[in-house]
Amino acid sequence: MTGPTLDNEPPAATNSATAATAADQAPKQRRRPTRTGNLHAGLVIAAVLLLLLVIFLAQNAHTVTINFLGANLHVSLAVALLAAALVGALIIGAAGTARIAQLRRERHAAKRNGG
């Protein structure tokens, strides 16, 4: 008799084939991202962006004249563009902060009214 019986264990070849089949059928578990992993990815992205910023500054170092509300400024093009981007980011940040505050007030009012 070559097959498994009640009195003895199945042959070794059957065990390894069964184990391989079970391993193939088991769902593959993905590791969840951790805070440290996210921090590492963020730092890598920030380093790449910083490198691009340094290249941008080096390539746009020539001076331009900016006229705004009667004021005449002589600054490098890179500084002028970075200042404009910073002001835009601050405006977007202020709008986002105002929206978050509005949502928190609404949630607080809903809790107070039993909702």
Please report the pLDDT score of residue 25 as a whole number.
65
Q: What is the mean pLDDT of residues 48-75?
A: 87
Nearest to 75 by CA among 65, 67, 85: 65
The share of the chain scoring above pLDDT 70, in percent, equals: 76
pLDDT at 33: 77
For the cut 80, the answer to whether the pLDDT of residue 45 exceeds it is: yes
pTM for the model stands at 0.49
